[in-house]
Protein backbone atom coordinates (compact mmCIF):
# COMPACT_ATOMS: atom_id res chain seq x y z
CA UNK A 1 0.00 0.00 0.00
CA UNK A 2 1.35 3.43 -0.95
CA UNK A 3 1.96 6.22 1.56
CA UNK A 4 -0.72 8.28 -0.17
CA UNK A 5 -3.28 5.52 0.20
CA UNK A 6 -2.33 5.07 3.86
CA UNK A 7 -2.62 8.79 4.55
CA UNK A 8 -6.03 9.01 2.89
CA UNK A 9 -7.29 5.85 4.53
CA UNK A 10 -6.20 6.93 7.98
CA UNK A 11 -7.71 10.39 7.51
CA UNK A 12 -10.97 8.74 6.47
CA UNK A 13 -10.76 6.48 9.55
CA UNK A 14 -11.02 3.46 7.29
CA UNK A 15 -10.74 0.51 9.68
CA UNK A 16 -8.74 -1.69 7.36
CA UNK A 17 -6.25 1.04 6.56
CA UNK A 18 -6.05 2.05 10.23
CA UNK A 19 -5.17 -1.54 11.07
CA UNK A 20 -2.47 -1.55 8.40
CA UNK A 21 -1.05 1.76 9.52
CA UNK A 22 -0.84 0.52 13.10
CA UNK A 23 0.83 -2.72 12.02
CA UNK A 24 3.30 -0.64 10.04
CA UNK A 25 4.34 1.47 13.03
CA UNK A 26 4.54 -1.66 15.17
CA UNK A 27 6.92 -3.30 12.73
CA UNK A 28 10.57 -3.66 13.70
CA UNK A 29 11.70 -4.28 10.13
CA UNK A 30 14.02 -1.42 9.03
CA UNK A 31 12.32 -0.87 5.64
CA UNK A 32 8.89 -0.76 7.25
CA UNK A 33 10.18 1.54 9.96
CA UNK A 34 11.31 3.99 7.30
CA UNK A 35 7.87 3.86 5.72
CA UNK A 36 6.25 4.25 9.13
CA UNK A 37 8.24 7.37 9.93
CA UNK A 38 7.28 8.84 6.55
CA UNK A 39 3.64 8.12 7.24
CA UNK A 40 3.80 9.81 10.64
CA UNK A 41 5.51 12.84 9.14
CA UNK A 42 2.73 13.13 6.57
CA UNK A 43 0.06 12.79 9.26
CA UNK A 44 1.70 15.30 11.59
CA UNK A 45 -0.59 18.26 10.69
CA UNK A 46 -3.61 16.33 11.96
CA UNK A 47 -2.10 15.05 15.17
CA UNK A 48 -2.18 16.38 18.70
CA UNK A 49 -5.89 17.07 18.92
CA UNK A 50 -6.92 14.42 21.36
CA UNK A 51 -7.06 14.09 25.10
CA UNK A 52 -4.58 11.32 25.89
CA UNK A 53 -5.46 9.38 29.00
CA UNK A 54 -3.47 6.55 30.57
CA UNK A 55 -5.38 3.92 32.54
CA UNK A 56 -3.69 1.42 34.79
CA UNK A 57 -4.83 -1.21 37.24
CA UNK A 58 -4.00 -4.81 38.04
CA UNK A 59 -5.82 -7.51 36.06
CA UNK A 60 -9.34 -7.79 37.41
CA UNK A 61 -9.50 -4.22 38.75
CA UNK A 62 -12.18 -3.46 36.17
CA UNK A 63 -10.37 -1.54 33.43
CA UNK A 64 -12.23 -3.13 30.55
CA UNK A 65 -15.59 -2.77 32.28
CA UNK A 66 -14.81 0.86 33.03
CA UNK A 67 -13.66 1.59 29.50
CA UNK A 68 -16.84 0.04 28.10
CA UNK A 69 -19.01 2.09 30.46
CA UNK A 70 -17.10 5.33 30.10
CA UNK A 71 -16.67 4.82 26.37
CA UNK A 72 -20.39 4.59 25.80
CA UNK A 73 -20.92 7.82 27.76
CA UNK A 74 -18.22 9.56 25.75
CA UNK A 75 -19.38 8.51 22.32
CA UNK A 76 -22.98 9.32 23.22
CA UNK A 77 -21.72 12.80 24.07
CA UNK A 78 -20.22 13.07 20.59
CA UNK A 79 -16.66 11.91 21.16
CA UNK A 80 -14.73 9.48 19.06
CA UNK A 81 -12.76 7.11 21.21
CA UNK A 82 -9.66 5.03 20.55
CA UNK A 83 -8.45 2.44 23.07
CA UNK A 84 -4.89 1.19 22.83
CA UNK A 85 -3.69 -1.68 25.01
CA UNK A 86 -0.01 -1.66 25.88
CA UNK A 87 0.65 -5.03 27.43
CA UNK A 88 0.95 -8.16 25.35
CA UNK A 89 -2.23 -9.67 26.78
CA UNK A 90 -1.34 -13.21 25.83
CA UNK A 91 1.61 -13.35 28.18
CA UNK A 92 0.22 -11.35 31.06
CA UNK A 93 -3.28 -12.67 31.50
CA UNK A 94 -4.10 -15.46 29.12
CA UNK A 95 -7.57 -15.21 27.69
CA UNK A 96 -8.00 -11.55 28.43
CA UNK A 97 -8.75 -10.77 24.79
CA UNK A 98 -11.80 -13.00 25.01
CA UNK A 99 -12.73 -11.30 28.28
CA UNK A 100 -12.40 -7.89 26.68
CA UNK A 101 -14.58 -8.87 23.74
CA UNK A 102 -17.40 -9.74 26.08
CA UNK A 103 -16.83 -6.75 28.35
CA UNK A 104 -16.37 -4.19 25.61
CA UNK A 105 -19.13 -5.58 23.45
CA UNK A 106 -20.78 -2.22 22.69
CA UNK A 107 -17.60 -0.32 22.10
CA UNK A 108 -16.04 -2.92 19.86
CA UNK A 109 -19.09 -2.86 17.61
CA UNK A 110 -19.47 0.91 17.44
CA UNK A 111 -18.02 2.86 14.50
CA UNK A 112 -17.31 5.81 16.81
CA UNK A 113 -14.90 3.68 18.84
CA UNK A 114 -11.74 1.86 17.89
CA UNK A 115 -10.09 -0.77 20.05
CA UNK A 116 -6.57 -1.95 19.36
CA UNK A 117 -5.32 -4.86 21.45
CA UNK A 118 -1.59 -5.05 22.06
CA UNK A 119 0.21 -7.12 19.44
CA UNK A 120 0.70 -10.53 20.95
CA UNK A 121 4.14 -11.90 21.56
CA UNK A 122 5.81 -8.52 21.46
CA UNK A 123 7.98 -7.18 24.22
CA UNK A 124 6.78 -4.32 26.35
CA UNK A 125 9.53 -2.04 25.09
CA UNK A 126 8.50 -2.63 21.51
CA UNK A 127 4.82 -2.13 22.15
CA UNK A 128 5.30 0.91 24.31
CA UNK A 129 7.52 2.28 21.57
CA UNK A 130 4.76 1.85 19.01
CA UNK A 131 2.05 3.18 21.32
CA UNK A 132 3.20 6.76 20.81
CA UNK A 133 3.05 6.28 17.05
CA UNK A 134 -0.35 4.66 17.40
CA UNK A 135 -1.68 7.63 19.36
CA UNK A 136 -0.66 9.95 16.50
CA UNK A 137 -2.32 7.73 13.93
CA UNK A 138 -5.55 7.61 15.93
CA UNK A 139 -5.51 11.39 16.24
CA UNK A 140 -5.00 11.80 12.51
CA UNK A 141 -8.01 9.52 12.06
CA UNK A 142 -10.08 11.96 14.10
CA UNK A 143 -10.32 10.22 17.44
CA UNK A 144 -10.49 12.93 20.08
CA UNK A 145 -10.07 10.76 23.15
CA UNK A 146 -7.29 8.16 23.25
CA UNK A 147 -7.20 5.78 26.19
CA UNK A 148 -3.96 3.87 26.73
CA UNK A 149 -4.49 0.84 28.94
CA UNK A 150 -1.82 -1.01 30.91
CA UNK A 151 -1.78 -3.56 33.72
CA UNK A 152 1.36 -1.89 35.00
CA UNK A 153 4.04 -4.54 34.85
CA UNK A 154 7.64 -3.43 34.99
CA UNK A 155 8.09 0.13 33.83
CA UNK A 156 4.90 0.27 31.81
CA UNK A 157 3.13 2.73 34.13
CA UNK A 158 5.93 5.25 33.85
CA UNK A 159 6.11 4.69 30.12
CA UNK A 160 2.38 5.26 29.68
CA UNK A 161 2.38 8.29 32.00
CA UNK A 162 5.13 9.74 29.79
CA UNK A 163 2.95 9.57 26.71
CA UNK A 164 -0.38 10.76 28.10
CA UNK A 165 -1.85 13.98 29.48
CA UNK A 166 -3.80 12.55 32.38
CA UNK A 167 -3.05 9.34 34.25
CA UNK A 168 -5.80 7.33 35.90
CA UNK A 169 -5.32 4.35 38.21
CA UNK A 170 -7.94 1.82 39.22
CA UNK A 171 -7.84 -0.01 42.50
CA UNK A 172 -10.36 -2.07 44.42
CA UNK A 173 -11.29 -2.04 48.09
CA UNK A 174 -9.74 -5.06 49.72
CA UNK A 175 -8.41 -6.08 53.07
CA UNK A 176 -8.25 -2.57 54.52
CA UNK A 177 -4.72 -1.80 53.47
CA UNK A 178 -5.53 -0.71 49.92
CA UNK A 179 -2.43 1.40 49.80
CA UNK A 180 -0.48 -1.80 49.48
CA UNK A 181 -2.31 -2.34 46.25
CA UNK A 182 -0.89 0.79 44.69
CA UNK A 183 2.65 0.40 43.60
CA UNK A 184 5.10 2.91 44.97
CA UNK A 185 6.00 4.35 41.61
CA UNK A 186 2.36 5.08 40.93
CA UNK A 187 2.10 7.57 43.77
CA UNK A 188 3.74 10.38 41.86
CA UNK A 189 2.22 9.49 38.51
CA UNK A 190 -1.47 9.27 39.24
CA UNK A 191 -3.78 12.23 38.61
CA UNK A 192 -7.05 10.44 39.25
CA UNK A 193 -7.29 7.39 41.50
CA UNK A 194 -10.50 5.43 41.24
CA UNK A 195 -11.55 2.96 43.89
CA UNK A 196 -13.66 0.70 41.69
CA UNK A 197 -16.29 -1.89 42.60
CA UNK A 198 -17.85 0.52 45.08
CA UNK A 199 -21.13 -1.35 44.94
CA UNK A 200 -23.09 -3.71 47.17
CA UNK A 201 -21.25 -4.74 50.30
CA UNK A 202 -18.10 -3.09 49.02
CA UNK A 203 -19.52 0.45 49.00
CA UNK A 204 -18.69 1.45 52.60
CA UNK A 205 -15.21 -0.05 52.35
CA UNK A 206 -14.62 1.83 49.12
CA UNK A 207 -15.61 5.12 50.75
CA UNK A 208 -13.22 4.47 53.62
CA UNK A 209 -10.46 3.61 51.15
CA UNK A 210 -11.09 6.87 49.26
CA UNK A 211 -10.61 8.94 52.41
CA UNK A 212 -7.49 7.09 53.43
CA UNK A 213 -5.87 7.27 50.01
CA UNK A 214 -6.73 10.91 49.37
CA UNK A 215 -4.96 11.83 52.58
CA UNK A 216 -1.85 9.76 51.91
CA UNK A 217 -1.53 10.51 48.20
CA UNK A 218 -1.70 14.25 48.68
CA UNK A 219 0.67 14.51 51.61
CA UNK A 220 3.70 15.21 49.44
CA UNK A 221 2.00 16.82 46.51
CA UNK A 222 2.12 20.51 45.61
CA UNK A 223 -1.22 22.35 45.83
CA UNK A 224 -1.37 22.67 42.04
CA UNK A 225 -1.11 18.92 41.52
CA UNK A 226 -3.34 17.19 44.01
CA UNK A 227 -4.55 13.75 43.06
CA UNK A 228 -8.31 13.33 42.84
CA UNK A 229 -9.52 10.18 44.58
CA UNK A 230 -13.02 8.90 43.91
CA UNK A 231 -15.11 5.78 44.40
CA UNK A 232 -16.92 4.35 41.41
CA UNK A 233 -18.58 1.26 40.07
CA UNK A 234 -17.87 0.33 36.49
CA UNK A 235 -20.61 -2.27 36.87
CA UNK A 236 -23.47 0.03 37.92
CA UNK A 237 -22.05 3.20 36.39
CA UNK A 238 -22.05 5.06 39.70
CA UNK A 239 -19.30 7.67 39.84
CA UNK A 240 -18.24 7.25 36.22
CA UNK A 241 -19.37 10.72 35.14
CA UNK A 242 -17.58 12.16 38.17
CA UNK A 243 -14.47 10.21 37.24
CA UNK A 244 -14.46 11.75 33.78
CA UNK A 245 -15.09 15.19 35.29
CA UNK A 246 -11.95 14.65 37.36
CA UNK A 247 -9.97 13.85 34.20
CA UNK A 248 -11.32 17.02 32.57
CA UNK A 249 -10.47 19.01 35.66
CA UNK A 250 -6.85 17.89 35.47
CA UNK A 251 -6.78 18.76 31.77
CA UNK A 252 -8.15 22.23 32.47
CA UNK A 253 -5.56 22.67 35.19
CA UNK A 254 -2.75 21.72 32.80
CA UNK A 255 -4.03 24.19 30.24
CA UNK A 256 -4.73 27.14 32.54
CA UNK A 257 -1.31 26.83 34.16
CA UNK A 258 0.37 26.73 30.75
CA UNK A 259 1.78 23.26 31.30
CA UNK A 260 -0.11 21.38 28.63
CA UNK A 261 1.93 22.10 25.47
CA UNK A 262 5.35 22.28 27.16
CA UNK A 263 4.62 18.92 28.74
CA UNK A 264 3.78 17.37 25.38
CA UNK A 265 6.89 18.84 23.76
CA UNK A 266 8.96 17.48 26.65
CA UNK A 267 7.33 14.08 26.13
CA UNK A 268 8.35 14.24 22.47
CA UNK A 269 11.91 15.09 23.46
CA UNK A 270 11.96 12.06 25.79
CA UNK A 271 10.56 9.99 22.94
CA UNK A 272 13.34 11.16 20.63
CA UNK A 273 15.98 10.14 23.15
CA UNK A 274 14.48 6.70 23.75
CA UNK A 275 14.08 6.05 20.01
CA UNK A 276 17.68 7.03 19.44
CA UNK A 277 18.86 4.82 22.30
CA UNK A 278 16.92 1.89 20.93
CA UNK A 279 18.21 2.40 17.37
CA UNK A 280 21.81 2.84 18.46
CA UNK A 281 21.66 -0.24 20.61
CA UNK A 282 20.11 -2.25 17.79
CA UNK A 283 22.74 -1.00 15.34
CA UNK A 284 25.53 -1.73 17.77
CA UNK A 285 24.33 -5.23 18.51
CA UNK A 286 23.47 -6.15 14.94
CA UNK A 287 26.63 -8.20 14.39
CA UNK A 288 26.14 -11.83 15.44
CA UNK A 289 29.31 -11.69 17.52
CA UNK A 290 27.94 -8.79 19.53
CA UNK A 291 24.85 -10.68 20.61
CA UNK A 292 27.04 -13.60 21.58
CA UNK A 293 29.52 -11.48 23.52
CA UNK A 294 26.72 -9.65 25.28
CA UNK A 295 25.05 -12.93 26.23
CA UNK A 296 28.33 -14.19 27.67
CA UNK A 297 28.91 -10.94 29.58
CA UNK A 298 25.38 -11.17 30.97
CA UNK A 299 26.01 -14.73 32.18
CA UNK A 300 29.23 -13.71 33.87
CA UNK A 301 27.61 -10.73 35.57
CA UNK A 302 24.79 -12.97 36.77
CA UNK A 303 27.33 -15.48 38.04
CA UNK A 304 29.20 -12.71 39.84
CA UNK A 305 32.50 -13.46 38.08
CA UNK A 306 32.83 -10.01 36.51
CA UNK A 307 31.57 -6.49 37.15
CA UNK A 308 29.14 -4.75 34.78
CA UNK A 309 31.62 -1.95 33.88
CA UNK A 310 34.22 -4.50 32.89
CA UNK A 311 31.65 -6.53 30.97
CA UNK A 312 30.59 -3.43 29.03
CA UNK A 313 34.23 -2.61 28.24
CA UNK A 314 34.65 -6.05 26.74
CA UNK A 315 31.41 -5.91 24.77
CA UNK A 316 32.42 -2.51 23.38
CA UNK A 317 35.91 -3.59 22.45
CA UNK A 318 34.65 -6.71 20.72
CA UNK A 319 31.85 -4.98 18.84
CA UNK A 320 34.07 -2.12 17.67
CA UNK A 321 36.59 -4.64 16.43
CA UNK A 322 33.87 -6.56 14.61
CA UNK A 323 32.64 -3.32 13.04
CA UNK A 324 36.30 -2.38 12.25
CA UNK A 325 35.87 0.99 13.96
In the complex, the residues that contact Mg ion under the rule CB under 5 A are: 63-64
Stretch that binds ligand GDP, among 160-168, 175-183, 230-238, 284-292 (CB under 6 A): 230-238
Helix H or strand E encompassing 82: strand 81-85
Which residues, in sequence order, are CB contacts of 156 under 8 Å at separation 6+? 56, 86, 87, 124, 128, 150
In this complex, which beta carbon is closest to Mg ion, that of residue 50 or of residue 64?
A: 64
Q: Is 72 in the site for ligand GDP (CB under 6 A)?
A: no
C-alpha span between 223 and 121 (Å, rounded)? 42
Binding test (CB under 6 A) with ligand GDP, winner from 144, 199, 212, 245: 199
Binding test (CB under 6 A) with ligand GDP, winner from 72, 80, 103, 250: 103
In this complex, which beta carbon is closest to ligand GDP, that of residue 103 or of residue 250?
A: 103
Among Mg ion, ligand GDP, none, what binds residue 242 when CB lies within 5 to 8 Å by partner kind?
A: none
Q: CB of 228 within 8 A of CB of 277?
A: no
Q: CB of 87 within 8 A of CB of 153?
A: yes
CA atoms within 13 A of residue 214's CA, in its CB half-sphere: 12
C-alpha span between 159 and 148 (Å, rounded)? 11
Nearest distance, CB of residue 99 and ligand GDP, angstroms: 5
Among Mg ion, ligand GDP, none, what binds residue 56 when CB lies within 5 to 8 Å by partner kind?
A: none
Binding test (CB under 6 A) with ligand GDP, winner from 147, 196, 213, 315: 196
In this complex, which beta carbon is closest to ligand GDP, that of residue 161 or of residue 198?
A: 198
C-alpha span between 255 and 272 (Å, rounded)? 24
Q: What one-character-per-residue DSSP string does 85-135 give? A: E-S-HHHHSTTHHHHHHHHTHHHHT-TTEEEEPPPTT--HHHHHHHHHHHH
C-alpha span between 208 and 204 (Å, rounded)? 6
Binding test (CB under 6 A) with ligand GDP, winner from 9, 54, 57, 152: 57
Among Mg ion, ligand GDP, none, what binds residue 122 when CB lies within 5 to 8 Å by partner kind?
A: none
Q: CB of 131 within 8 A of CB of 163?
A: yes
Q: Is 71 in the site for ligand GDP (CB under 6 A)?
A: no
In this complex, which beta carbon is closest to Mg ion, that of residue 86 or of residue 163?
A: 86
Q: Is 61 in the site for ligand GDP (CB under 6 A)?
A: yes
Stretch that binds ligand GDP, among 39-47, 155-163, 233-241, 292-300 (CB under 6 A): 233-241
Nearest distance, CB of residue 112 and ligand GDP, angstroms: 20
Q: Give the binding site for ligand GDP (CB under 6 A).
A: 57, 59-65, 99, 103, 196-197, 199, 233-235
Amino acid sequence: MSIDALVHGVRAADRTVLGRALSLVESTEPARQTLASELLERLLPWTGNSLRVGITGTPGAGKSTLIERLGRTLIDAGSRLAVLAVDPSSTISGGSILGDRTRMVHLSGDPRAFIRPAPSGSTLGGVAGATRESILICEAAGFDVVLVETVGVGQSETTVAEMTDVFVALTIPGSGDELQGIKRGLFELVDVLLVNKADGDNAPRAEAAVREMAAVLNLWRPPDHQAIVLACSALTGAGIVEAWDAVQKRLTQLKTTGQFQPRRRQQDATWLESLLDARLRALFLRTPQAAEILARARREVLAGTTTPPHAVQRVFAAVLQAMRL
